[in-house]
């Protein structure tokens, strides 16, 4: 018998509202996307705990509060083309797909990409294009993007991602060393960029040409 997680999901939404998540579209997406589908079977009982959970290959599914903070920072109206760096489990991808016109997602681990694609298919989500590659350099062939979300820690704000933003577009990216980062929101202006921080965070490292060079 499949467990009903609806009450746990609603409790999580209430907790997120208490922490300052106010975007009703973001809250609705979080309330309707089944996180239990995206976590490892052995961690399903913790699907709606406000914590990150391990995935295969040393990766993680982000804490729901962090998913909400990052998604809210993107200021999505439903008309945006969004680039996601680090598909992971596909949970953040599903949230973005519900809130934007189209999502382009890059995952460097083929095993994770295949699993995420299957999960998105189970939910009938079709406005996502997913490839395996180096997300740190973006997806130049599909640029420009209205929004870019990086779900791994970069040592600096990648220039190639800034260059792939539309004028006025937003990039959300954790920047720092491999132990702790600042969650940066970058807006591309007609001349230069404007950046502010949403506070400290901890993510797995962004591996690639404009990220960390180690496996």
- Rounded to whole angstroms, how far apart are CA atoms 131 and 135? 9
The token pair that represents 166 in the structure block: 């539309």
Q: Which residues pair with 147 in a beta bridge?
A: 82, 170
User: Do 196 and 184 form a contact (C-beta atoms < 8 A)?
Assistant: yes
Among 62, 89, 100, 105, the one annotated catalytic = 62
Query: Would you say how long the chain is, in residues?
Result: 215
Instruction: Please indicate whether residue 62 is annotated as part of the active site.
Output: yes
Secondary structure element (H or E) that encloses residue 55, with its range: none
What is the DSSP code string of 90-159? SHHHHHHHHHSSEEEEEES-HHHHHHHHHHHHHTT--SEEEEES-GGG--GGG--EEEEEE-SBBSS--H
Q: Long-range contacts for 200-205 (Cβ within 8 Å, ≥24 apart)?
A: 201/66, 201/174, 202/153, 203/62, 203/151, 203/152, 203/153, 203/174, 204/58, 204/59, 204/60, 204/152, 204/153, 205/152, 205/153, 205/178
Q: Which residues are catalytic?
A: 62
């Amino acid at each position: 018998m499949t467990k009903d997680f609806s009450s746990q999901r609603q409790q999580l939404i209430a907790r997120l509202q208490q922490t300052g998540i106010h975007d009703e579209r973001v809250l609705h997406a979080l309330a309707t996307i089944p996180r239990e589908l995206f976590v490892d079977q052995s961690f399903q009982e913790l699907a709606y705990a406000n914590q990150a959970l391990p995935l295969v290959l040393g990766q993680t599914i982000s804490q729901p509060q962090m998913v909400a903070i990052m998604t809210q920072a993107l200021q999505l109206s439903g008309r945006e083309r969004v680039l996601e760096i680090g598909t992971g489990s596909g949970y953040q991808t599903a949230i973005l797909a519900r809130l934007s016109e189209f999502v382009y997602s890059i995952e460097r681990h083929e095993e994770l990409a295949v699993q995420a694609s299957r999960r998105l298919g189970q939910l009938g989500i079709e406005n996502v294009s997913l490839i395996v590659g180096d997300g740190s350099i973006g997806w130049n062939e599909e640029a420009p993007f209205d929004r870019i979300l990086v779900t791994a820690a970069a040592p600096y704000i990648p220039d190639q991602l800034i260059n792939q933003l539309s004028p006025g577009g937003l990039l959300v990216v954790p920047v720092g060393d491999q132990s702790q980062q600042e969650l940066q929101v970058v807006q591309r202006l007609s001349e230069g960029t404007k950046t502010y921080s949403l506070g400290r965070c901890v993510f797995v490292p962004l591996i690639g040409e404009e990220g960390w060079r180690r496996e």
